[in-house]
Structure 1
Amino acid sequence: MKKIRILHIIKSLGRGGAEMLLPETLALHDQSKFEFHYIYFLPWKDQMVQAIEEQGGIVNCFEAKNNIQLIGQYPKIADYCHSHQIDLIHCHLPWAGFVGRLVHRKTRIPMVYTEHNMQERYHPVTKFLNKKSFNSQSLAVGVSEDVSQSIKNNISPSIPVRTILNGVNTQKFSRNKHDLSVREHYNIPENAIVIGLVSVFRFQKRIKEWLQVFRNLKNSSSEEIFGLIVGAGPLEEEIMQEVERLNLRESVIFTGLQENTLPYFNAMDIFMMSSSFEGLPIALLEAMSMECAIVTTNAGGIKEVVRDEKDGLMVPVEEWEELKERLQSLITDRPKLTELQKAARERVITEFSLQVMTKNLEQAYMEFSE
């Protein structure tokens, strides 16, 4: 039987949530039925390339230094589709979506577009281009009900919109209580509370506010508390200035980008997010799978995952300062901390597994490639 050839198009293969899902889902796809190709455009953001190739994916970089050059690659992508007999194109995030829609118009190859963010949060130019071109594809996928509803409210597309919830590999992301490597490396005492975050340093993540919450908690608590932040991004210099301003150099550890986040999750007791908006963050699902207690704002798709007081603790986006009180309630009630750590993992196992996500994607591929 001829395999269905899928071409993923994405702007970069760095360590963003959408990018990290590609090798994770590839590992679970039925490669006796599907063959997977990948095109990206930013050669300096290639951290996921090796992981994809190790899982059998075929990766090509069509270099583009800016979004205009990226769009200009569409004839080359169309030629690639013809020469490799691509059956379906799957694009992720707006600029990949724009170029994919041009390829779809030129080749008539079916195209699926996954939206990871709320339309309201995009730059006006991005919103305009998205709305104008959105119907030049076969299917739109929202990673949460909030994201799908945002598409319907802002674009009113004539094409179908389907929600396929993000998932996590719960077998891979499983806590190893004996792994103390990160705590030992950074001289964090075994009994200290570690509040963590894995994130790209973008404005919507509100890491400066995260640091303010941490500082207020540390100043009012008698417990030994450390912060552990894994990631990097465009706001790094600004964030480090805030660390200096708040005098947190000794208590908040920045690890930079990490290929393997498992030992860092192992070191965390609590995973805190202070985001102003989200689609459905992969790092949140990974933290829950790793039995980190969740304390977060109720941004976007987060509230579809975390049920307050059942799977974690939440505050309204605009009341982010209240995160400090929710953290304090866990630090002073260790049985409740343990209860929420176990509940977090149970939640993703039952509702947000990568296996379910991959199965739903394959159903869409089969349906729209026919």
Structure 2
Amino acid sequence: MNKEVKAVQGKDHGKKIKVLHLIKSLGRGGAEKLIPETALVHDQEKFEFYCLYFYHQENNIVGELQRAGIHVELIPSGNLSLFFQVSKVRKFIQTHEIDILHAHLPWAGIMARSVGNKIKIPIVYTEHNTWERYNKLSYWGNRISFKKQDVAIAVSNEVALSMRLNSIWDPYRRGERMQLKVIQNGVNTEMFVRMPDVRCAMPELAIPKEAKVIGIVAVFRDQKRLWLWVEVALKVLERCPEAHFMLVGDGEWRGKIEDQIKKSGKSGNFHLVGVQKNVIPYLSMMDIYLSTSEFEGLPIAMLEAMSCEVPVVATSAGGIGEVIQQGVQGYLSAIDEWNKLSDYCCDLILNPELHDNMRKAARERVIDQFSMKRMVRELEGVYGEVVG
């Protein structure tokens, strides 16, 4: 436990530090999933967690937050009306005697800084993506208000660089004491462990026992470029016709992806299994984790796959290049050279010894550098610092 946290608790005779997570929605993205997953690893005798969100989706993770012991509340709002809710957020903070406000992603970050204009509360902001990828309204709202917080956390070095470059011309004003820290995402390596004989337990998928499975867990949105993912898969089938492909998730691109697969005539080799609350059995069926993303922060699903002994073949988008060492835990291509990924997949499929070495190295890499315990320890250090 960080010494600052201990000091603060000593002053209050063991009173828990109350942290309020603020986020626009609770869909199944990486930023959202980190809230309950970190809470489970935090010392809950010393911390108490709350979460406010504003946009309700059907496939949400509210239940997962509640099972992690987080108090969850919805304040219904759209983007344009979000800032009419500042007084409600302020009242929630005062009613529940919140000690730290921890915001995620631009809209919640702007909201948190607006709340901080009226009441004195430490503000922590986590940035999960590079600024260049946001729309103009999110970008400028984030930039203009950015330094009105105590600590900004970047989930990767590339995200940190983006934050520095985009705020370099904005002068600090008196009383603004923001720090920038890199805390890379982590995964619970005790939970994400490869399960044996999963295919036998899911005969409905009709994946042959000996077939190699290439997969991904993702929200089906533009940045993932899943139409290119399917193109890579079809190229793999030219050399490795027994391969199968699994897409776990859903989103706006699903219909187009289904049409693309149907037109290819290879529907029998593809399995779109939808959103899954427990992805471990599906990761355990995969032999390769394939990503064709145009941009990323540091994808949680990829780290979870690696923890389940799945080597990675991916574009070097965002923090992916900070995790994967070329030829050790997998293979990387430049973002615009995604067509190389099919050959990398085939090399792994056709060389069992190479694949075995990489799958072991993938899990070792996560345990050594990207564990949830490490991430939570660093977060608790930040919490102790801002409260202290």
* TM-score normalised by structure 2 residue count: 0.92
| Distance in structure 2 (CA, Å) of the matches to 1:352 and 1:184 | 33
Matches within 5 A, 1:30-49: 30-45=43-58, 47-49=60-62
Q: Which among 5, 10, 15 is matched to residue 2 of structure 1?
A: 15
Find the residue that maps to 2:266 and give its secondary structure. Answer: coil
- Do structure 1's residue 363 and structure 2's residue 378 form an aligned pair? no
Q: Which residue is 1:73 aligned to?
A: 85
2: CA distance, partners of 1:161 / 1:323: 34
Native 8 Å contact 2:199 2:207 kept in 1: no
Mapped pair 1:21 → 2:39: no
After superposing the two structures, state which structure 1 stretch, 238-247 or 250-259, moved more.
238-247
- Is 1:94 the equivalent of 2:75? no
Match of 2:245 in 1: 227
Number of residue-to-residue matches in the alignment: 368
1:182, distance to aligned residue in structure 2 (A): 6.0
Shift of 1:221: 2.4
More deviation in 278-287 or 181-190? 181-190
Equivalences for residues 1-370 of structure 1 within 5 A? 1-45=14-58, 47-64=60-77, 66-156=78-168, 158=172, 159-181=178-200, 183-222=202-241, 224-370=242-388
Q: Distance in 2 between matches of 1:238 and 1:368?
A: 46
What SS does the corresponding residue of 2:80 show, helix, strand or coil?
helix
Shift of 1:184: 2.1
2:175 aligns with none
Classify 1:312/1:28 alpha carbon distance in 2 versus 1 (closer, same or farther; 3 Å): same
Q: Aligned AA for 1:73?
A: Q
Q: What do the CA deviations read for 1:259-307 (whole angstroms, capped 9, x no partner)?
A: 0001100111110001111110000100100001111111110000000
Quick check: 1:5–1:36 contact (8 Å CA) kept in 2?
yes
Q: CA deviation at 1:124?
A: 1.9
Return 247-256 or 186-195, whichever deviates more: 247-256
Quickly say closer, same or farther: Cα 1:248–1:124, change in 2 above 3 A: farther
Amino acid at match of 1:165: Q
Structure 2: how far apart are the matches of 1:214 and 1:179? 22
Q: Give the drift of 1:168.
A: 0.2
Tell me which moved more, 43-52 or 302-311: 43-52
| Aligned 8 A contact 1:87 1:109 in 2 | yes
In 2: Cα distance, 1:9 partner to 1:49 partner: 13
AA in 2 matched with 1:253: H
CA distance in 2, matches of 1:75, 1:369: 23
Structure 1 vs Structure 2 CA RMSD:
1.3
2:122–2:386 CA contact under 8 A, matched in 1: yes
| Same amino acid, percent of matched pairs | 40
Unpaired segments of 5 or more residues in structure 1? none
Q: CA offset at residue 368 of structure 1?
A: 0.5
User: Which consecutive unaligned segments of at least 5 residues does structure 2 have?
Assistant: 1-13, 173-177
Asked if the contact 1:118/1:150 (under 8 Å) is kept, the reply is yes
- Higher relative contact order (Cα pairs below 8 Å, separated by 6+ residues): 2
Which whole-Å CA distance do the structure 1 matches of 2:218 and 2:56 have between them?
21
